[in-house]
Amino acid sequence: MYESLDLNGKTVLVTGGAGYIGANLALRIESMYPDAKVIAFDSFRLGDYRALDGFRGQFIGGDITCPADLARLSSFRFDAIFHEAAISDTRVNDQALMLNVNTNAFRDILELAAEHRSAVVYASSAAVYGSATAPNRVGNGESPETVYGFSKLMMERVADAYAERLEGRITGLRYFNVYGPGEFYKGSTASMILQLGVQALQTGRARLYEYGGQSRDFVYIEDVIQANLRCLAREPGADRSAKVFNVGAGEARPFNDIVAALRESLGISIDIEYIPNPHSTYQVHTEADIEPIVSAVGYSPQFRLEAGVKAYTPEILRIAEQLGTPRTRAA
């Protein structure tokens, strides 16, 4: 799939390595490149050791905002860095904390990358668009409505400042609504696909904001991993600028479609309970323009919503059973 990328014999750092996307990346790199040396770095602010079940590499506990913790990485020579560490809970309103973790600490990661001559792929977010009119295009309508979104937009500005030193080998990925195996440990910030699936298995119903027509670009974790690896393999050529791409499925789907896909995949009847939306600011439509990343690196989403939900179903059932939900509800 990534013909030009070979990480065997390379040393790879995954920050936020015990988080949802970071852990999936670390495990996938090990499975695809058995001779790669993978270092996972995490403070467990949001991560969980169980997300790294089966991980064979080295784990270093540390906080990206702590110089002493970052110094633990000095004995390595990283060929590649996937920077996933962040406060990703959009409900956090501590502006100083959010900017310190997400933006300021990113400078230290890029200093490390410059010293090691590492290629960098880092996590940005569709939150940079706020309520901008979809489809969402890089360079248009970036107007964050949360400090989280602002911190991610400022990360991209930091990347611009380091692009020349990193010889253009730096790529930001604006993730849209990521879902799939491994996200259970995110708790209340897990995707609505997981939350609605478990809710349906527990109660036979799904609760949606009136009237379920709000739409999102839902992107399956396998496609997110694909995007990361393809962007790591990207050759900057003569263009030494930092690049930013949307990572989504490339289509908006309403929440009602999630319930329909869950009915089909779980094989159960699900009633919908519509409730008032209590949020004064709420994205009613997100949709990633993915043409730039398709053209640049050959990104090709493999999972439309129905296929993603079907692939996710065994884990949704397992989680529901773990939480004490009668599995007999499924066909």
Strand partners, 285: 215
CB 74 within 8 A of CB 56: no
- The residue assigned the tokens 């089909």 is 264
Element (H, E) at 105: helix 105-116
- The residue assigned the tokens 């939350």 is 195
- The residue assigned the tokens 């010293």 is 115
Structure tokens at 92: 């956090």
Question: What secondary structure does DSSP assign to 33-47, as a single string?
Answer: -TT-EEEEEE-SSS-
- The residue assigned the tokens 């195996």 is 181
Catalytic residues: 148, 186
Question: What secondary structure does DSSP assign to 19-84, as a single string?
Answer: SHHHHHHHHHHHHH-TT-EEEEEE-SSS--GGGGTT--SEEEE--TT-HHHHHTTTT---SEEEE-
**What's the rounded Cα separation, in Å, for the pair 88 and 73?**
23
Q: Mention every residue, 6+ apart, whose C-beta is less than 8 A from residue 182.
A: 20, 23, 24, 51, 221
